[in-house]
Amino acid sequence: MAPCGAESVEFLDMAKVLTPQSEDFPRWYQDVITKAQLAENGPAKGSQVIRPSGYALWERMVEEMDARIKETGTENASFPLLIPESYFKKEADHVEGFAPELWMVTHGGGKQLEEPLAIRPTSETIIGEYMSKWTKSYRDLPLLLNQWCNVMRYELRTRLFLRSSEFLWQEGHTVHATYEEAHEFTLRILHEVYADFMENVLALPVLRGIKTEAERFAGALNTFGCEAIMRDGKALQMGTSHELGQNFAKAFDIQFLGSDGKQHHGWTTSWGTSTRMVGGLIMGHGDDDGLRVPPQLAPVQAHVMVVKDSDEVSAAAKKVYDELKGDGLRVRLDTRGDVAFGRRAVDAELKGYPVRIEIGPRDLKNGEATLVRRVSGTKETVPLGMLAEAVATALDADQQALFDESLELRESITADAGSVDEAIEAAQTGLARIAWDDCGVEGEARAAESGVTVRVLQRADGTVPDSLDESGLIAYLSRSY
């Protein structure tokens, strides 16, 4: 029966935990972060506190990304948080690009410092200094480094996970002997590390491409990026990979002796992804009931929940927990007897656990458990003996379902535009595709006035261009975070 009358309306209001996405998306975003206890603002402007539920998501991202980064032969290291101001001045574009975002330490031990120290907004400069020391011979190359750390950028407008003054990230820095090697490595990171992780683990299809000059990293030759589409139709830059040419090699004197017996400048790259991806995960998959975390990423893949506490039920639940855990799944057992069923169910949905297994006296009597799937919202009863298999099947299917849903959304909001005006119009609610020749930097500047940016340029066949000099490129325009 359709809900009607005052009682039903009141019920709906009470049942509503979050502001619906359709009503106010930014508010919804805030609500989920609060209700799922992911993060909150810190005392200093733009600072953020990441709570355990939010940090667990980041930790899983780190695990998956770190494995892929190491797969490329890159090693982790750690460089200082404080960077002498003079380092920034060595690369003209770089200092110009980052100057407005720098936090500067001017005092130490109660005394003014002789030279101010910048808190790293990114580490090209200080790592460049050491690359210079460590790169003596072509035998030292390629030098492949990465660090997981925090960085700080002064921000005027901040938003939890998406843009904060301090954030956590991974920054890779490499030196290669030739342009080709550096170029190839930049793209390898884009495809094999970033896009692979985002699509296969985060279940977010990403547009890969080259950034326009306006969107390029300060000091880079070319910037490549991965863009995901959020459920409100706006784009989010999920990661970037830069080929720096010899700009930093020249500024920091990164030279090596080649097999030809001559000195050569190295070719460097840098690439990064940050806690912003947590924001992308939230906005890319979340719905009106909360987060929907793809099974591959989920810190808790299966939530085993005792419905009514009793010795038999608890024992059965523990058995299921042990079995799933034995299968290598990330499982959480919820035997809380002092929190009502509904609250625990809603909480699990807010946190986005992919599957929930409810076990109560009724299930137990039938030798079953109830399997609730977060993505589809379906409930089914499964014989206990077949539970492990059913869970595994559900996790696989729902990982794919999230990806498909996101891809479908992207396709449904992508429109071809014949003119800049058409593109700006289409980009208000989605993704506009236009020939770069029909847009150009003039069109890009005009679009920017309407809050629309060129997210990425691709070749006509959807592959990633090697440079902006290629002809026949296609531009994707949209509003973005």
Residues within window 197-236 making contact with RNA, judged by CB under 7 A: 214-215, 217-218
| 295 lies in the binding site for RNA (CB under 7 A) | no
Instruction: Supply 118's token pair.
Output: 């910048």
At closest approach, how far in Å is the CB of 28 from RNA? 10
Say whether residue 26 binds RNA (CB under 7 A). yes
Restricting to residues 121-150, name those near RNA by CB under 7 A: none
156 binds RNA (CB under 7 A): yes
| C-beta closer to RNA: residue 163 or 265 | 163
Residue whose entry in the numeric block shows the structure tokens 């032969």: 73
Q: Which two tokens stand for residue 109?
A: 């031990």
- Is 117:84 a contact under the CB 8 Å cutoff? yes
Min dist. Cβ of residue 178 to RNA (A): 25
Total Cβ atoms within 10 A of residue 223: 22
Give the nearer residue to RNA in terms of CB position, either 176 or 351: 351
Contacting RNA (CB under 7 A), which of 46, 54, 128, 219?
Answer: 46
Torsional class of 261: left (φ above 0), alpha (ψ -120 to 50), beta (otherwise):
left
State how far the Cα of 1 lies from the Cα of 406, in Å rounded to an integer: 32
By CB under 7 A, which span of 172-180, 356-364, 406-414, 465-473 interacts with RNA? Answer: 356-364
Task: Kindly state the number of chain residues that form the binding site for RNA, as judged by CB under 7 A.
Answer: 72
List 287, 358, 398, 444, residue binding RNA (CB under 7 A): 358
Residue among 97 and 264 whose Cβ is closer to RNA: 97
Q: Which is nearer to RNA, 9 or 214 (CB)?
A: 214
Instruction: Single out the residue of 143, 249, 298, 364 in contact with RNA (rule: CB under 7 A).
Output: 364
Torsion of CA 367, 372, 376, 381, to 10 degrees: 20
Residue 101 in the binding site for RNA (CB under 7 A): yes
Binding of residue 477 to RNA (CB under 7 A): no
**Exposed, middle or buried, 449 (CB in 10 Å: 0-12/13-18/19+)?**
exposed
Least distance (Å) between residue 138 CB and RNA: 31
**Maximum pairwise Cα distance, the chain:** 87
The correct pick among 49, 339, 386, 441 for binding RNA (CB under 7 A) is: 339
308 forms part of the interface with RNA (CB under 7 A)? yes
Interface positions, 249-288, toward RNA (CB under 7 A): 272-276
Residue 185 exposed, middle or buried by CB count within 10 Å (0-12, 13-18, 19+): buried
Asked if the peptide bond before residue 205 counts as cis, ω within 30 degrees of 0, the response is no
Min separation Cβ 159 and RNA, Å: 5
At residue 374's C-alpha, the angle toward residues 368 and 378, to 5°, is 55
3-state secondary structure of 252: coil
Which residue type does 162 have?
L
- Told to check if 362 binds RNA by CB under 7 A, we report yes
Sole window of 59-67, 107-115, 142-150, 364-372 interacting with RNA (rule: CB under 7 A): 364-372
314 binds RNA (CB under 7 A): no
> Which is nearer to RNA, 132 or 301 (by Cβ)?
301
Query: Which residue pairs from 337-344 have beta carbons closer than 8 angstroms and sit at least 24 positions apart in sequence?
Result: 337/306, 337/309, 341/307, 341/308, 344/305
What is the x/- site pattern for RNA, positions 388-427, by CB under 7 A?
----------------------------------------
Report the C-alpha gap between 47 and 41 in whole angstroms: 6
**Proportion of the chain in helix, strand, coil states, percent, rounded to 5:** 40, 30, 30
